[in-house]
Amino acid sequence: MTQAKSNGSGFGRREIEKALVASIRKLDPTYLLRTNIIMLIVEVTAVITGAMAIDPAAFHGLTTQPVWIYVALTVILLLTVWFATLAESISEVQGEARVDSLRRLEQDVQARKVVDGNIVVVPSKSLLPGDVVRLRPPEIVPRDGVVLEGTAYLDESLMTGESAPVVKKVGDSLIGGTTVTSDALVMRIVAESGRSYLDDMIKLVEGAQRPRSPNEISLNLLLIGLTGIFVLVVGTFLVLADSLGYIVDLAILLSFLVALMPTTVGGLLPAIGIAGITRVGRANVVAKSGKAVEAAGDVDTLILDKTGTITQGQRSVKRFVPLEGFTEADVAQAAFVASALDRTPEGRSVVEVATSLGQSLPLTPRILGGKAIEFSAETRLSGVELLSSFGSNPTRRPPLPTVAPEIAQGPVWKQLVEFEGSQKPERILKGAVDAVLPTASQVNKAELLWKSQEISKQGGTPLAVAVGPRIIGLIDLRDQLKPGIKGRLAAVQSTGIRTVMVTGDTEITARVIAAEAGISDVIAQAKPADKLTRVKQEQGLAHVVGVEGDGTNDAPALAKADVGIAMNSGTAAAREAANMIDLDSDPSKVTKVVETGKELLMTRGAITTFSVTNDVSKYFAIFPAMLPASAAAQKLNILQLHSPVTAILATMIFNAAVIPALIPLAFRGVKFRPEIPERTFIRNMLVYGLGGAVLPFIAIKGIDIVLTWVIH
């Protein structure tokens, strides 16, 4: 691998050449017939004016101007079409540049492989899972792996788009193609050649398609309808002129038609859609279709998981809360045993806090040989089941370790001693209160519910701790909001989007966290099917729903939602069901996707508004100049354009120049602002509507003055 010098957003000589070649190929009339009827009409007009320049006599009196006029009109018309195809080609090449930069990262590099304690330099493609490699600045990580030794900073900007180096320490994952910027590491390869994170990214980006969305198709039909109206206007003008004995030049009349057609938005419409996908791609989200990006802009209900999206997803123990008859130490000891085989962040936190309080218990053979009870969304509890390893035969049972007197006299250790001599399986559990409660027969239910409610009111998640049939206390788990998530949610909600948080927490805890984050509604104590049920309910009320998820149980909701964003680290079922994939697996990025979708819709609306008002103004600007010379015509000719020829040439030049002038806006997009849609609409109408209405008068008059001076 070699480090690419561009993240795919830059535009070098190679990209320019590709865009130019592609734009010329797109001038093919058969391509325009399939993709852009308006530009096809412009191209046909250019062919007619070109034929008039070559052989004016063949048009039987429909030519009244010098040949150079027809040549000039032909060139301007062809440039108009070419600017449109160029805009589309640049958009496509920008998207392809992302793949090209990733492919450059796939090139083979030399890796310092550790073999029997010695360093052997080998090609990265020869590395196998399990191989150990040493890295130092400015070496490139040869393949996906994990850190075995050391701590260092890595540049992951080409993968994630984040410019700041990321610190990596023992146990952290490394992405092939990233660069070590400081210190040194020892890593173990975990991915086979061709099956790395980078390979997955390339396949996803290459597989992204951009079929035209329903809104884009509808807008195209509207533009074609407007074009049909202008054809009727021009046709009527031709008939009227003929009945009055006024000779109309065919090239001038056809150019007048092109000037009235919505060529600006017609030329930029494909580029706007492709640019929307590209902007989402810069956030490391692969949109499988343009429809997904557009739908993101229409989302008015956003269903979000709490953990990892709204909160950091690393809940830690704040305190142990005993029930009457037990102590904090008793609860800490029982929680320690229940978490001994738990590899989740919460389980590790319990072990760490209990150990720091001096309440860790010896891990007896029966505990270590016990069966781990894994947490699941259905059961909402975890722990350990102590199996009968030695039975009641004392000769087969090893002696228990010696513990401090205060621990030996405690109820937890006594219960464990009883378990050690028992022939039946016994369980030590921790989990949601309503999940653990049915498993216990000895509990002060009123006290348990009261204390769990107090924890919930403070924004904590209460976990009940049970030793055999007895619930002895609670664990107060706390999770923190993700940095900046409150502001991002507020920005999204300010546009009228309603947010719904899905969590397995109790209703009280969920409401407290929702209030902190500014969430509109919650689904508490949720099971996997609840997310899909809510999606169906919201869609039944005519809402456009966005969902994010990563598990197989999320797949039905992702498939049903209008916008389904799957985490790349999630299951294959989730990625297949979704119409977007977040390569960084950052659930909070869903808000960025929604903002980009809104920018796409706002950009399309702004350029459409500009184009339509622009066309109306052009009609009033040049139509009077084309009328037969008379006092009435002069009164209508408010711009006092010199002649029909200069008027039409000035308009056609302006018409062609507007498209490249608006290409940066089409690519960059109208910036999203956290405000109500009505305010956005009014501002865009004032800026783009009024601007589109005024600009033609100024520009056409200015160009007319220059042309008059040049010609005369």
Task: Name 122's bridge partners.
Answer: 111
Rounded to whole angstroms, how far apart are CA atoms 697 and 651? Answer: 10
Q: What single-letter amino acid sits at 445?
A: K
Q: Is 391 left (phi over 0), alpha (psi -120 to 50) or beta?
A: left
Q: How many angstroms separate the CA atoms of 681 and 409, rounded?
A: 73
- Largest Cα separation within the chain, whole Å, is 123
Other beta carbons less than 10 A from residue 341's beta carbon: 19
Q: Is the peptide bond before 138 cis (omega within 30 degrees of 0)?
A: yes
- The conformational region for residue 574 under phi > 0 = left, psi -120 to 50 = alpha, else beta, is alpha
Residue 668 has a CB neighbour count (10 Å cut-off) of 12
Distance CA 202, CA 581 (A): 12
What amino acid occupies position 40? L
CA 384 to chain centre: 40
DSSP 640: -
* Strand order across the beta sheet in which 371-373 lies: 316-322, 470-478, 461-467, 426-432, 381-386, 371-373
8 Å CB contact between 700 and 650: yes
Phi, psi of 505 (to 5 degrees): -70, 165
What 3-state DSSP class applies to 131? coil
In DSSP notation, 66-133 reads -HHHHHHHHHHHHHHHHHHHHHHHHHHHHHHHHHHHHHHHTS--EEEEEETTEEEEEEGGG--TT-EE
Q: Where are the beta strands (DSSP E) in 550-618?
A: 563-567, 580-582
CA gap 416, 446 in Å, rounded: 26
- Amino acid of residue 557: A
Q: Residue 69 to residues 248, 256, 640: CA-CA distances in angstroms?
A: 14, 14, 21
**Which residues are within 8 A (CB) of 394 and not within 5 positions of it... i.e. 6 or more apart?**
421
Catalytic residues: 305
Exposure string of 175-191, with b = 16+ CB inside 10 Å and e = fewer, is bbbbbbeeeebbbebbb
Please tell me the distance from the alpha carbon of residue 94 to that of residue 101, in angstroms, as a whole number.
11
What is the residue type of 458? Q
CA-nearest of 220, 14, 454 to 462 is 454
Of 34, 19, 89, nearest to 212 by C-alpha is: 34
CA atoms within 13 A on the CB side of 130: 1
